[in-house]
């Protein structure tokens, strides 16, 4: 058997690449039905649990749900309610604000990643662990810890600020301020991941560029601005896209840090926490679906804008 195959192949071994290329007509596909066995489980699963549900959610956004289930088509009512309610636009503003804060974390990450990439820097691996630990920590758990740090009465932050004569700030129970507090946690939590991604990009920048710059007398800062940032632009762009998507899906931190008894709860929703409340607490699946689809459209638009800007600004050379 082996001999047979061997002899058959040796006759055509010289042109094996060409044979593969033009296989459509001649040699039968060696894989037969195997590929379908390989992909079908995943494709069926994705169809049942993802593709069909997205379409269903789209349909649900035009329906109203009775107390005992059963959807009734109501046209654009949910969508009109979204705009008029005031709660959804506010949640959208909150979410955008949080997202903007996450983006502020990227320059910090560039700065730290650049420091970590210094030639001959000792303990770099140790520093990396310190900066990266928050990223692997359960958001629900770190939200509780930060909630304690931000606590207005006995949180360590206010007590620390008090040393400098700064009055106690109600970090998590003042409108807008709460979003800043959550944004700080978000930046802290994502910093390590951003540093890792940028670190991988930094390593691909040829070191002789820096040597040439140093010979020309360029300062570290100048090297960062003129060499590192432009050559890192693909990684930076990738982090922008990812941060926007991640920021727009804010849920864990706001859900835990702004508890049910918090007086600003009503005004301090993110799109996803509002979605959760409508769809699963109030059991208003129609409104929930409309919020989800709205969020999907906004993320799509923001991502498209970024790709459009990227075409004009970023060098992939």
Partner 1 sequence: MTDVQKAPRTVTRKPTGGRRGNNIGAHIILSIGGFIMVFPFLWQILMSLSSTAEVTSVPPTLWPSELRFDNFLEVFRQIPFLDQFWVSVQVAVATVVGQIVLCSLAGYAFARMRFAASAIIFAVMLSILMIPNQAYIIPQYQIIQSLGWLDTVQGIVIPTIFSAFGTFLMRQFFVNLPKELEEAARLDGANSFQIFWKVMLPLARPSIGALAIVTILAAWNNLLWPLVVTSRAEDRPLSVGIASLNGQYVIDYPVMMAASLMAMAPILILFIIMQRQVMEGLAHSGLKG
Q: According to CB under 8 A, which residues from 71 to 130 bind partner 1?
A: 112, 115-125, 127-130
Asked if 183 is part of the footprint of partner 1 (rule: CB under 8 A), the reply reads no
The correct pick among 18, 22, 27, 29 for binding partner 1 (CB under 8 A) is 29
Asked if 240 is part of the footprint of partner 1 (rule: CB under 8 A), the reply reads no
Distance in Å, CB of 280 to partner 1, minimum: 6
Q: What is the 3-state secondary structure (H, E, C) of the chain?
A: CHHHHHHHHHHHHHHHHHHHHCCCCCCCCCCCCHHHHHHHHHHHHHHHHHHHHHHHHHHHCCEEECCCCCEEECCCHHHHHHHHHCHHHHHHHHHHHHHHHHHHHHHHHHHHHHHHCCCCCCCHHHHHHHHHHHHHCCHHHHHHHHHHHHCCCCCHHHHHHHHCCCCCCCCCCCCCHHHHHHHHHHHHHHHHHHHHHHHHHHHCCCHHHHHHHHHCCCCHHHHHHHHHHHHHHHHHHHHHHHHHHHHHCCCHHHHHHCCCCCCCHHHCCCHHHHHHHHHHHCCCHHHHHHHHHHHHHHHHHHHHHHHHHHHHHCCCC
Asked if 171 is part of the footprint of partner 1 (rule: CB under 8 A), the reply reads no
Distance in Å, CB of 38 to partner 1, minimum: 4
Binding mask 206-225 vs partner 1 (x if CB under 8 A, - otherwise)?
A: -x---x--------x-----
Q: Which stretch binds partner 1 (CB under 8 A): 87-95, 99-107, 171-179, 184-192?
A: 184-192
| Residue with Cβ nearer partner 1 (43 or 80) | 43
Name all contacts of 103-107 with Cβ < 8 Å and 24+ positions apart.
Answer: 103/240, 103/243, 103/244, 103/247, 104/183, 104/187, 105/186, 105/187, 105/190, 105/191, 105/194, 105/243, 106/194, 106/236, 106/239, 106/240, 106/243
The correct pick among 103, 132, 177, 213 for binding partner 1 (CB under 8 A) is 132
Interface of this chain with partner 1, residues 259 to 278, rule: CB under 8 A? 259-261, 271-272, 275-276
Distance in Å, CB of 313 to partner 1, minimum: 20
> Site size for partner 1, by CB under 8 A?
114
Q: Which stretch binds partner 1 (CB under 8 A): 82-90, 91-99, 174-182, 187-195?
A: 187-195
Asked if 54 is part of the footprint of partner 1 (rule: CB under 8 A), the reply reads yes
| Residue with Cβ nearer partner 1 (129 or 309) | 129
Distance in Å, CB of 118 to partner 1, minimum: 6
Asked if 237 is part of the footprint of partner 1 (rule: CB under 8 A), the reply reads no
Asked if 28 is part of the footprint of partner 1 (rule: CB under 8 A), the reply reads no
Distance in Å, CB of 94 to partner 1, minimum: 16
| Residue with Cβ nearer partner 1 (179 or 279) | 279
Binding mask 276-295 vs partner 1 (x if CB under 8 A, - otherwise)?
A: x--xx----x--xx-xxx-x
């Amino acid at each position: 058997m082996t001999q047979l195959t061997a002899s058959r192949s040796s006759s055509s071994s010289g042109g094996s690449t060409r044979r593969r290329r033009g296989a459509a007509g001649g040699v039968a596909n060696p894989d037969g039905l195997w590929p379908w066995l390989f992909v079908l489980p995943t494709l069926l699963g994705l169809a049942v649990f993802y593709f069909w549900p997205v379409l269903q959610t789209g349909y649900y956004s035009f329906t109203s749900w009775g107390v005992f289930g059963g959807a009734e088509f109501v046209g654009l009512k949910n969508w009109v309610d979204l705009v008029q309610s005031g709660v959804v636009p506010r949640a959208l503003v909150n979410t955008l604000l949080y997202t903007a804060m996450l983006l502020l974390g990227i320059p910090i990450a560039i700065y730290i990643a650049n420091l970590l990439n210094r030639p001959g820097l000792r303990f770099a691996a140790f520093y990396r662990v310190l900066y990266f630990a928050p990223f692997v920590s359960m958001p629900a758990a770190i939200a509780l810890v930060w909630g304690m740090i931000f606590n207005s009465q006995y949180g360590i932050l206010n007590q620390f600020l008090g040393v400098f004569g700064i009055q106690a700030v109600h970090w998590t129970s003042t409108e807008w301020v709460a979003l800043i507090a959550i944004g700080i946690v978000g930046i802290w939590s994502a910093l390590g991941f951003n540093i890792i991604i940028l670190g991988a990009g930094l390593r691909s920048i040829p070191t002789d560029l820096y040597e040439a710059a140093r010979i020309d007398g360029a300062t570290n800062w100048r090297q960062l601005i003129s060499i590192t940032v432009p050559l890192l632009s693909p990684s930076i762009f990738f982090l922008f896209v990812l941060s926007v998507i991640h920021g727009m899906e804010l849920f864990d931190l706001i859900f835990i840090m702004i508890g049910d008894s918090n007086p600003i709860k009503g005004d301090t929703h993110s799109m996803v926490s509002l979605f959760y409340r409508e769809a699963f607490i109030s059991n208003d699946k129609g409104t929930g679906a409309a919020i989800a689809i709205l969020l999907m459209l906004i993320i799509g638009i923001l991502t498209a804008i970024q790709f459009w800007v990227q075409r004009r600004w970023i060098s992939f050379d």
